[in-house]
Amino acid sequence: MLLKKKAWTLGLAISAALSASPAAWGQMLDEPIKPLPAKLNLDARKVNLGKSLFHDKRLSKDNSLSCASCHDIAAGGVDGKQFAVGIKGQVGPINTPTVLNSGLNFRQFWDGRAATLEEQAAGPVHNPGEMGSNWQEVLAKLSQDKAFVERFKGVYPDGLQPRNIQDAIATFERSLNTPSRFDRYLLGEGMALQEDEKQGYQLFKNYGCVACHQGQGVGGNMYQTFGVLGNYFKDKGKVTDADLGRYAVTKNEADRHVFKVPSLRNVELTAPYFHDGSAKTLDEAVEVMFRYQLGRSAPAADKALIVKFLKTLTGEKGMQ
């Protein structure tokens, strides 16, 4: 009788789990990484308008670059270059972070200088080394496009305004979540991952990678010093202003070489890696993390399994 009661109780638990929401699944499994939300509550009109703006080269001074020029959504939300390239071929000082899943980041830019996606959207437009423009110039160009002006009026009561451009772009960027096979695994679909990928995830946890790469974004939710257990910048040499990290924003010595931890979602697609684009391959990036962040070595087989796990974080839905 007792065995029957236990079986009945287990059956109820399994039934409840199978019908649980994604958030509930993450809690039940008590995993450091949580599945992406199944649905986003976003205004479709703003998403569509923001998508148009994201691909609009009129946001740059010479009409040569759009947001998508550096953040190619079909290629992992990056440009594949070591450093971003702005108008007139200007090579920037830092690697382009992915725009995919950027709505999950607690701050924006490597140094966290923007608190929101709206604030971030204005940065490249005004940066002389990126798009090199300003809102006055952008508004002058867009206001000549009657169809575009009408689209703004249909979405925002006050029409075409800088804050509405920022809001629309940010809303579009928040729509760029990329659920992966790993999310399906977290939600109970055990066959979504192969055994070696599951082993890689377990090693990712056992070695302590999840201390920084956790939550829905598998990162993007905290700051960390680059070189916790090894002097990365001494070994690198030729330290630049871009290597200062948060210090460039706060002027607090404790923030020197501190950066926003990047999301590892779609990491298979976002080479080269780190703020300085110094790691050309994912295997090389994992090696650097073991040396400078974990302060330990690991068998090559373990690192290879971790890389296999990381590739399960590549989004399955079609890129826009």
Residues known to be catalytic: 130
Intra-chain end-to-end CA distance of the chain, in Å: 57
Give the tokens for residue 60: 């740059």
CB neighbours of residue 110 within 10 Å? 21
42 is written with which tokens? 């976003």
CB 47 within 8 A of CB 176: no
Record the tokens describing residue 220, joined without a space. Answer: 């993007």
Report residue 66 as tokens. 């759009």
DSSP secondary structure, 9-62, as one string: HHHHHHHHHHT--HHHHHHHHT-SS-PPPS-----HHHHHHHHHHHT-GGGSTT
Encoded tokens for 298: 């690991």
CA distance 124 to 151: 23
CA distances from 291 to 23, 50, 200, 231, 233 (A): 34, 41, 18, 10, 13
